[in-house]
Amino acid sequence: MTVTIWHNPRCSKSRQTLDLLRSKGVEPKIREYLKEPPSKAEVEKLIGLVGGDPAELIRDGEAEFKSLKLDKTKLGKAEIAKAVAAHPILLQRPIVVSGSRAAIGRPPEAVLSLLK
C-alpha cells in the first residue's frame, strides 16, 4: 500500500505527521505541493478522498486567501479546487492519502485510521 503525504516542511503539523507515520513504520511518498503544485483535478480528487465538507481543505487564515476576498462558506468543490490549484499555499496541510482514503493531519493522529 502506497501512502503519500502532501507536505510542507515549514509547517509543524506537517512535520509532526511525517514523524508519526515514520514512527509507525510507514515511509510515505512525499509530495511537496508548494514545489509541485496540484492541478485542479488533483485537488478535486483529494476533496473526494477526504470526504466531508470541501471547505476543510482550504486555509482561510493565509494572507493570500484574504487578498482573494473569498468566502469559504460559499465556495463549492470546483471553486475550492480552482483556488488551491492557482494558490497552493491555500491547501490545508498535511493531507495523507492511502488507497482510496485520505485524512487531514490536524491533529497528526487523525491520519492513523488510514494505516489500519
The residues assigned a catalytic role are 11
Helix 77-86 to helix 40-50 angle, to the nearest 10 degrees?
130
Q: Which ranges of 2-92 does DSSP label H, i.e. alpha helix?
A: 12-23, 40-50, 63-68, 77-86
